[in-house]
A and B are shown apart, each in its own frame.
Chain A
């Protein structure tokens, strides 16, 4: 399956919320839908779910018009929403039945997912009696109870401890391996890097960056390298490089352990390595192509 969002525009009154949004995602892949608060991610998801109607543009599934009612979609909203005062299994069965699953299967699916997420023992309890983390897991179970083909997860790791995060990671990896389309929205970039092959960054209703994450990282790190010296601190190394290699590199920043440098005037990596090796006061400890983190890319693209 291939889900394509093409040239979506949406306004509320005079305010233009989405300006020509386009992206696509395929089965067995996860797409990271990123953006600052209020960028337009939730509106995009709601249009996808047919809660809002786009002013223009179209959504296609395998080339045909996408009709959300005809396909199972599991949606985990950022604003978690279940009934605190209702029995867990009852509301899960209810949500599954609203998605067209018959009662028997809804009960079976509910039990399956509650067990899979290690909250099966609470099925007859009221939701409000569970801890925040377990409520979060119940919410995820409710998202998956309809055996969705498309899974939309908005901040799924929020409120989970490391053990529960690992359970959720495993589940998401399983979903991707089963060939589901996964759209993943989060501000925790490390999770996005872990699961998503492709990303879309939306800023003020516009796509500012999209494509394959590795290629984006490669492109953003182009002509940049990280260097560290065995006998020098980052500050000392920066001063040294600026003094002795100013004709071929520029120090552009630092990582936790390295200094980031940018190649200038057509200098190749080999040439730089030789020049570094010739500096007597420096013993090169680390020399590698710089691959910026998604967090760095995000901040660079959407930061004020």
Chain B
């Protein structure tokens, strides 16, 4: 234990003395902490859309109007075979700041669109069908939606007229707004979605970045041959465990400082932000606890694997080759969890929440957003931590075998075979 602590201390100091680690941690924590105080120092209510005083509102309305006038208006073309839309004022009202030109034929309409004389064109054949012409369709083109609504209203009016029904009465009765007071007694996935999203990204990035750092630390000891002295001074398992736990503590400290700065800063300036960041920064304590437990577990699991893979190569430039497959697994887990974030109780998330390679994010998401029984959480945690012990034990053996083998990178399958031979 004393020797483990010596390695742990030495490795941890190497993180603390690493300028990029210290600068990144302190700088990000300070910047995020400072950002949280911005609305208290500067008036950001306009940007945040927070309710203002009457005087401010009046000024804003004036500004808004001025902006609307300044905004460039769109020009549309229309060929109406029905006659219902002969009054373009209806169209201009529906489309807001737009001008409509009536055209004679479909060909004229197409030509005007092609020549960019008009932004888009509508060729209406009856009250339920039309053609939409546009030169280059934008990603968020809403013209069709607006026109659909307008034509649908006209269709309803004609229908009512034909049936002798008063449209106004019908519309008031038929399209009466529904009032609903929703009260979520359990978890509201919509509320938890964004911070879950952020935390899944954070743990993914941390594993990838620090995992490679641990692998590099191991390989560096091989490439500079300090391993020659180390393995003759101490059992190699202490070297691996010391590095992995030092890396874990470095990560926890870094995350605690950065996330802590954000949460504390926001807690002080909650009102000034008008609760706008609640979706990201108002994280319940139990969710943070689940994130910490499963996050640390997942990190340890992968950190051991990274350490072992680092021991299988002799040059730092070979690390990427060695850790490639592991990175792939982490990426697959990341995308699987991300794509299933809106379906936390689906079968994929359920399976992922028990596998040690993915439970660190899948179970955390299920706890935050889905419905999960306590026994499931305990079972998943037990599987994860037993897997960590197994990976640590196996990793220490491979590490010992790999550390003194120089030359070409050793494949993990060959390492396991060699280990089997050594055992027998």
Contact = CB atoms under 8 A, between A and B. Distances in A.
A82 B3 contact: no
Interface string B203-247: 000000000000000000100111111111110000000000000
Contacts of B14: 86
Interface string B8-19: 001001100000
B404 interface: yes
A142 B230 CA distance: 11
A77 B10 CA distance: 22
B88 interface: no
B15 to A, nearest CB: 13
A84 B224 contact: yes
Given A51-B404, A86-B14, A79 B228 contact: yes
Given A97-B6, A98-B3, A49 B224 contact: no
B404 A46 contact: yes
Contacts, number: 55
Interface in A82-100: 82-84, 86, 90, 94-95, 97-100
B229 A75 contact: yes
B224 A77 contact: no
A118 to B, nearest CB: 21
A73 interface: yes
A26 to B, nearest CB: 22
A98 B233 contact: yes
B233 A95 contact: yes
B230 A98 contact: yes
A75 B232 contact: yes
A82 B224 contact: yes
A100 B238 CA distance: 14
A81 interface: yes
Contacts of A142: 229
Nearest to B11: A94
A79 B226 CA distance: 9
Contacts of B7: 98
B162 interface: no
B226 A49 contact: no
A63 interface: no
Give the size category of A's interface with B. Answer: 20 to 34
B228 A81 contact: yes
Nearest to B225: A81
B129 interface: no
B166 interface: no
Nearest to A77: B228
A162 interface: no
A266 interface: no
Contact of A95 (B2, B229, B404, B418): B229
Contacts of A124: none
Contacts of A98: 3, 6-7, 230, 233-234
B226 A81 contact: yes
Interface in B83-109: none
Interface in A25-84: 46, 49, 51, 68, 73, 75, 77, 79-84
Main secondary structure of the interface of B (DSSP, over half): helix
B347 to A, nearest CB: 46
A51 B231 contact: yes
Nearest to B231: A51
A80 B225 contact: yes
B234 A83 contact: no
A49 B232 contact: yes
B199 to A, nearest CB: 34
A99 B233 contact: yes
Contacts of A100: 2-3
Contacts of A97: 3, 6
Nearest to A75: B232
B421 interface: yes
A83 B230 CA distance: 11
A300 B190 CA distance: 84
A13 interface: yes
A94 B6 contact: yes
B404 A83 contact: no
A77 B225 contact: yes
A73 B230 CA distance: 12
Contacts of B228: 75, 77, 79, 81
A81 B229 contact: yes
A143 to B, nearest CB: 8
A75 B7 CA distance: 19
A203 to B, nearest CB: 23
Contacts of B227: 81
A81 B229 CA distance: 7
A166 B228 CA distance: 26
A73 B232 contact: yes
Interface string B113-128: 0000000000000000
A144 B229 CA distance: 12
B229 A77 contact: yes
A261 B142 CA distance: 109
B264 to A, nearest CB: 34
Contacts of B229: 75, 77, 81-82, 95, 142-143
Interface of A: 13, 46, 49, 51, 68, 73, 75, 77, 79-84, 86, 90, 94-95, 97-100, 142-143
Given A46-B404, A75-B232, A77-B228, 7 more contacts: A51-B231, A77-B225, A81-B221, A82-B224, A90-B10, A97-B6, A98-B233
9 contacts: A51-B404, A81-B221, A82-B224, A83-B226, A94-B6, A95-B230, A99-B233, A100-B3, A142-B229
**8 A-B pairs with least C-beta separation:** A81-B225, A77-B228, A81-B226, A98-B233, A79-B225, A49-B232, A81-B228, A97-B6
